[in-house]
Structure 1
Amino acid sequence: MPKFWCGIDWSESLNDVAVIDESGEVVAHTRVESTPEGVKEILALLRGLRTSHTHSRKQVPVAIETPHGLLVAALRAKDQPVIVLHAGTVARYRGRISPARKKSDRTDAALLANIVRTDGAWHRPMPRTSQEAMAVTVLARAQRKAVHTRQYHRNQLRSLLREFYPAALEAWQDLPHGIVRAEARALLALAPTPDKARQLRKRHIADTIAAAGRTRLVDDHAERLRAVFQHPHLRHPPHIEEAMGQQVQAALALLNQACASVEYLTEAATTAFHAHPHAEIYASFPGCGPLIGARLLGEIGDDPSRFTVRGLRAYAGAAPLTWESSSSRVVTHRRMANSHLKEIGHIWAFATLTRSPGCRAHYDRRREQGDRYAAALRNLYGRLLACLHFCLKNSTPYREETAFPGGCE
């Protein structure tokens, strides 16, 4: 059992470091920068707490409120146990010490250490995730963020086109991805206003969409687009329309950059995923393509001791939450979970419905028992996570007959 506990109240400039003993008294305090010298100072402080051959700095857990940053990465690289505490948890503990909940960097550092000293059993060190898995985490989260950015710029462009250029929305409204399609963006760059679109000939349209990647029914599609652009619509005065066309070009440039970022990060994330030893196990599951697998691996990691089956399902938001008091008992879905894992879990479970008879039968059975759509998918997701935990623990691929004995019955 550790005899000392350390807390770090981090900031962009100086980090307050406090060490407490078994009685909760602060025995050491310093302020360091997030530099190699600062890390050396922290490690030297922990190493010098006791002059004994039985004492090691690795026996001193370090509590901090963020899992990110260079300081945390440097401590983990030195095998220093780091425990991440949620800021909301720390705020509640602050009220136990002082009703006024006063705050300062120095006292917060000691508070972090005291939380681990008194309730250390409830807080676990950061998992021992490999560098390969952490790289997948970075790329998968960046790809997810890029997708959201692309959707934002798509909405901005669509809102602008609705104000003065409805033909551009009608042209691709029945096709997948709409104005995000490469051919749509290429044609909007060629004709950013209704007047320029009306002047386009069929051959110009066909050449543009073919250069953007369309290979099937090019002439038919060009003829349809020309008819849409020729159809009469309400118009703004010419000067206003031209100004809004310039705004379209600016919005289109942002959308093009967002689309390029999504494509680049998608390729990078899937490449990093395929290079990981667990990729074959993830890929053996129905509906788990390279991108879904990368997001799952990025959030779950590859530390075999990190999760139990129950803990993994709770972490992913797939386990129900029970509120029980006196004679009342309410079972609801878990809102506090890893949002990245919860989101991709819904997509993964939905994708299995057409790829796995067992998953489809399980989903239909939950619906027949009264579950609504989202609840049935969550239950299926929880079942898939249990199968995934077993396969990763035993280094075996997914087998339909083992996961869902009885198949479609």
Structure 2
Amino acid sequence: MKSASNPIRNQPIPSCLPEDPPGGVTAGLDWAWNDHAVSIVDHRGRQIDRCTVEHTAAGLRGLLGFLARNNASEVAIERPDGPVVDTLLGAGITIVVISPNQVKNLRRRYGQAGNKDDRFDAYVLADTLRTDRARLRPLIPDQDDTIALRRACRARKDLVNHRVAVCNQLRAHLQAALPAAVGLFTDLDSPISLAFLTRFDTQDKIDWLTPTRLGAWLRKQGYSGRTSSAMLHQKILAAPRGPQDVFADALAGITASYVAVLRTLTEQIRVLEKHIDRQLAAHPDQHIFTSLPRSGRVRAARLLAEIGDCRARFPTPEALICLAGAAPSTRQSGKLRAVTFRWACDKQLRDAVTDFAADSIKTNPWAADLYQRAITRGCDHPHAVRILARAWLTIIWHCWQDHTPYDPAKHHALQVFLTPKTEAA
């Protein structure tokens, strides 16, 4: 099953800008929530026109008319997605993305103050597009199915982070309201833990429990944990006692609110995961990323979505590695040379790659050995994972470029660990 895609995104886009801007003009657009400042600059760097358009359907149509009147076919902007970008791409406009951090530094080209002004930033974007063409690249968008998968994966990640935050808030609340429930089960947001907090939400109700009563309740809930009811009851007795009577009832209302939020978040994360699984199954590149060790479905979907489907964006493995932040940054001045952590990168891509790399050591002996050798050299866990991620990205890039799944039998470095060593004669 092949998902539908936007025909505009199928049109070929050159991988580099022409030496001179078409029509001798460049445009810059400073994106905002309610309106957008637009500036037109000629070949000498003079601003020849500017306007502000509203973030409405009529405003975006007016933007296209404004660009057409000024014969502008290239626009520099600070973000690579959204309705504005879709409108410009649909009209055949070449888009060049210049990050907000770059714009912040570029302001000092034109003055010492470096003040933030939307109209001035639009001019800076347009003039940078005119002067720095050799270092800039046009935006090559992914297909619609990849973009949709990326948004679903990021939405799930946001919900997971929200669930962790609410779980921490509930734990802090229970430390004072119901200490016996903290640490009783492995995960505070697990179904059995939430069911316990729903049934035994005050100290008075917990005092009613005996090992026999607790065991009967656990069997009714289908509890399959390895800890016996007697040991769980001993944990309850060893914990500090919470408040009782009227004050306890008031605190139980807060507990119920946190439990309800956690249940809703858990359910919606599960719904999103099913949606992601369906999207992944329909994607033409899914076989590449699901073949990776311990990639699963959600992890494979995140890797696919963050890397994308445009092969021209990463002509070499190093281009992908640097964007993912898996390669260090080298700074040199005179005799001073420092190799440091790469801060400027795609944070979402780095998180997806390092999450995969960290888990791959559990089943892949080559990955485990590479990670362990980094630890032995004195690297901490995050650094060792980035080293492993860099090696994995080279493999993933070749599979991705060739449209072939990962085959352990063709991974020569892995075969060293899988082939039995022959004893010396």
**Cα distance change on mapping 1:233 and 1:329 into 2, 3 Å:** closer
Which position in structure 2 is the counterpart of 1:54? none
Matched, 1:107 2:120: yes
Letter in 1 for 2:54: E
The secondary structure found in structure 1 opposite 2:28 is strand
Which 5+ residue runs of structure 1 have no aligned equivalent?
51-56
1:215 positional shift: 5.0
1:198 positional shift: 2.3
Structure 1 counterpart of 2:103, from 90, 94, 98: 90
Letter in 2 for 1:35: T
Matched, 1:284 2:284: no
Matched, 1:71 2:71: no
Shifted more, 61-70 versus 183-192: the winner is: 61-70
**Cα distance change on mapping 1:229 and 1:216 into 2, 3 Å:** closer
Structure 2 counterpart of 1:29, from 44, 50, 63: 50
1:118 positional shift: 0.9
Task: Let me know the Cα RMSD of the aligned residues.
Answer: 2.4
Distance 2:45 2:212 in 1: 80
The secondary structure found in structure 1 opposite 2:313 is coil
1:379 positional shift: 1.4
Q: Is the 8 A contact 1:136 1:273 kept in 2?
A: yes
1:210 positional shift: 5.5
Which position in structure 2 is the counterpart of 1:334? 342
Matched, 1:5 2:18: no
How many residue pairs match? The answer is 395
Shifted more, 260-269 versus 143-152: the winner is: 260-269
Matched, 1:124 2:137: yes
Q: Is the 8 A contact 1:358 1:404 kept in 2?
A: no
Structure 1 counterpart of 2:154, from 129, 141, 162: 141
Shifted more, 32-41 versus 374-383: the winner is: 32-41
Distance 2:356 2:38 in 1: 43
Distance 1:106 1:211 in 2: 65
The secondary structure found in structure 2 opposite 1:8 is strand
Which 5+ residue runs of structure 2 have no aligned equivalent?
1-17
Which position in structure 2 is the counterpart of 1:171? 184
Distance 2:220 2:115 in 1: 64
The secondary structure found in structure 2 opposite 1:179 is coil
Counterparts of 1:219-368 in structure 2, within 5 Å, are 221-222=228-229, 224-229=231-236, 233-307=240-314, 308-368=316-376
1:316 positional shift: 0.8
Shifted more, 360-369 versus 76-85: the winner is: 360-369
Which position in structure 2 is the counterpart of 1:188? 197
**Cα distance change on mapping 1:183 and 1:103 into 2, 3 Å:** closer
**Cα distance change on mapping 1:227 and 1:117 into 2, 3 Å:** same
The secondary structure found in structure 1 opposite 2:44 is coil
Q: Is the 8 A contact 1:192 1:248 kept in 2?
A: yes
Deviations 1:249-291 (A, max 9, x none): 1121222222222222222223222221111100111121111
TM-score by length of 2: 0.85
The secondary structure found in structure 1 opposite 2:196 is helix
Letter in 2 for 1:18: S
Distance 1:116 1:75 in 2: 16
**Cα distance change on mapping 1:385 and 1:101 into 2, 3 Å:** same
Q: Is the 8 A contact 1:167 1:228 kept in 2?
A: yes
**Cα distance change on mapping 1:345 and 1:234 into 2, 3 Å:** same
1:139 positional shift: 0.6
Letter in 1 for 2:272: L
Shifted more, 262-271 versus 194-203: the winner is: 194-203
Distance 2:64 2:36 in 1: 14
Letter in 2 for 1:158: R
TM-score by length of 1: 0.88
Deviations 1:137-184 (A, max 9, x none): 101111111111000010011111111322111421xx3xx2111011
**Cα distance change on mapping 1:211 and 1:116 into 2, 3 Å:** farther
